[in-house]
Structure 1
């Protein structure tokens, strides 16, 4: 069987028939080389997920690998959810809760139930780390410039680097209208992200504070495409940034991050903090999945 015959495409975090972030998935990538995995990502132009048997020393159920057209990624939230969803639909998930080995560390996944769309999947992320920019004055000017906005269009919260798996730069904007109108200079995106130690810019706006709903857009550093329709890892990082700034509750109440509207691929990522007596020890991210791009 050729590699192309093994690929199934799902769209993750979809909120409509054209929504979500497409993820080509290979549920049995045993024997595939790095070149073959990268060729899948290049052929489809999206973050792609590959399921492999876990090594005995990981004590996990599966090993997942992820590629974008330009390079391998240590973790990809929507491709992880897509892989688990497909494994469940094919009857290849050994139990509702499984452990996954990734290059960014161990990830827990769980099936909460089933609907007409298939499994309802959540995956874990560790507690977020939120930090100020290394060189705030200069780097804020660079970010404003590359996004093509004025400093006056920033909201009254700090620009921060945040991560659960990969560093994303959180950029608060005054309104959803400003967010939707962004026309970044993509020729400078990689350079700006490299200088601030980030894998992508994640501008966001408060849509409904009371209901904890936010709009965001993701401009990756160097993935091989200019914008993501939905980015689970960035949404989890944003949730910890919102918590740091007192914008969301310190509880397990759902936070919703909408994305993809500017691309006409409406998406929604749900984030819930995993709480213990001392506070959030991590989070769960989830969203709807559908077959097809």
Structure 2
């Protein structure tokens, strides 16, 4: 088995960040080997491979969770680029990464890693699925903020659920046995309830309950945070000239995390601290 390094990505305090096992040389690994790493560690795991000839990319990244392969994972990408930089394997401070969801650009500035996400899209959810969604989360319509529940997508579709306040967010106890069912009905890969923490400083708190990854909750989810930015934009809570948007996650799990997002010409830059 290839060497595995465990990174913690989007760290915002002691014990924080989302763990990401990384294999920097996965050339000899089969898909079964990769899935075995994810199952052993119980987290999204990343595998670095040579880029295809003629792709104009520097690396290929593959991503596995315990249950299946993923086309792209934000925090794993950040962790892998940070690790490649630390061991001196980045050809320059800006690289192109081949993934199954398309090319991802990454850059390193004074040790801080940022990666790109494409321009997002926002769409309404099936209103008939909302009562089931609220029941799965263990809340009622009175616990929601006065904004619509939406689906939003950069690399994957997430369902954005605006709750009234941080206390409501913290007390969510979903029926995890039904999350996959309601996500399938919504056409979503995860439920992402969120609350406004500081509207003037553009700080938001969120939790991620994935559809079928093999674990019930994520400590930090870059792809979901990127989708949230476009939901916030649609609701007028932020504007494109915002210096940054900060999405905090993981507090309820004892893993404080923070994802920093900034608008770019063709989408977003997202990054955060890695240890």
TM-score by length of 2: 0.99
Residue 260 of structure 1: which of 226, 243, 250 is its match?
Answer: 250
Task: Name the CA distance, whole Å, in 1 between partners of 2:133 and 2:240.
Answer: 29
Within a 5 Å distance, the mapping from 1:126-275 to structure 2 comes to 126-133=118-125, 135-136=126-127, 138-275=128-265
- In structure 2, the residue matched to 1:57 is 54
Shift of 1:57: 3.1
| Structure 2 equivalent of residue 278 of structure 1 | none
- Residues 213-247 of structure 1: per-residue CA shift (max 9 Å, x gap): 00000000000000000000000000011001100
2:42 alignment counterpart: 45
Farther-moved stretch of structure 1 (138-147 vs 219-228): 138-147
Count of matched residue pairs = 275
Q: CA deviation at 1:112?
A: 1.6
Matched, 1:284 2:264: no
* Correspondence list, 1:13-32, <5 A: 13-32=10-29
CA distance in 1, matches of 2:184, 2:167: 28
Moved segments of 4+, more than 4 Å:
none
Cα distance between partner residues in 2 of 1:88 and 1:52: 15
Give CA-to-partner distance per residue, 1:31-90, whole Å, 9 cap, x none: 210000000000000000000000013210000000000000000000000000000000
Task: Report the 3-state secondary structure (helix = DSSP H, G, I; strand = E; otherwise coil) of the residue aligned with 2:218.
Answer: coil
Give secondary structure in 2 for the equivalent of 1:171. strand
Partner SS for 2:233: helix
Whether the 8 Å contact between 2:249 and 2:257 is mirrored in structure 1 is yes
Shift of 1:252: 4.7
Asked if 2 retains the 8 angstrom alpha-carbon contact of 1:252 and 1:274, the reply is: no
SS in 2 for 1:19: coil
Structure 1 residues 185-213: Cα deviation after superposition (integer angstroms, max 9, x where no partner): 00100000011100000000000000000
| Superposition TM-score, scaled by structure 1 size | 0.93
Gaps of 5+ in 1: 114-118, 276-280
Root-mean-square deviation (CA), in Å?
0.7
Unpaired runs of 5+ residues, structure 2, are: none
Instruction: Give the equivalent residue in structure 2 for 1:35.
Output: 32
